[in-house]
Amino acid sequence: MIFFVAMTEERKNLYRKLLYTAMLEMRGQSFWPDNLSHSQNLQGHGRSIALEFIYSLTDWLHNLALHSSQGFEKFDENWFWQDYQIFREQFPSDKWAPFLEGAVNQLKK
């Protein structure tokens, strides 16, 4: 049987801050330039990598969004952080969205 510990409001807000920060990152990565006439192949490759990042980020955070909307009932933090490790193995913080680490570090305290 899995037991879930009640989460403080401060911790819930830190998780929500992480979600918001991730949304800002996805928004920035999804920018589509108006002029595609130069270096279309390079842009296509860059777009593909950015889409992989956005997909992986949303895959990591989708359960957090669900549990956030439900007041974090039955939210499994251990599972969440295991998924985070998998996400960061694919997209290290020194190359992809390092500012997400600010919100992550607050939660890990």
Which residues lie below 8 Å from residue 23, measured CB to CB, with a gap of 6+?
A: none
Rounded to the nearest integer, the mean pLDDT of the chain is 84
Helix (H) or strand (E) holding 42: helix 40-69
Does 41 have pLDDT greater than 80? no
Mean pLDDT over 80-109 rounds to 91
- What does the pLDDT read at residue 42? 47
Q: What three-state secondary structure class fits 105?
A: helix
Instruction: Provide the token pair at 95.
Output: 């190359």
- Residue with token string 């549990």: 67
Is the overall model pTM greater than 0.85, yes or no? no
Overall size of the chain counted in residues: 109
Helix (H) or strand (E) holding 89: helix 77-90
Does 51 have pLDDT greater than 60? yes
- Cβ-count burial 9-18 (b if 16+ within 10 Å, e if not): eeeeebbeeb
Local confidence band at 78 (pLDDT 50, 70, 90 cut-offs): very high
What is each CA distance from 49 to 28, 52, 109, in whole angstroms?
13, 5, 31
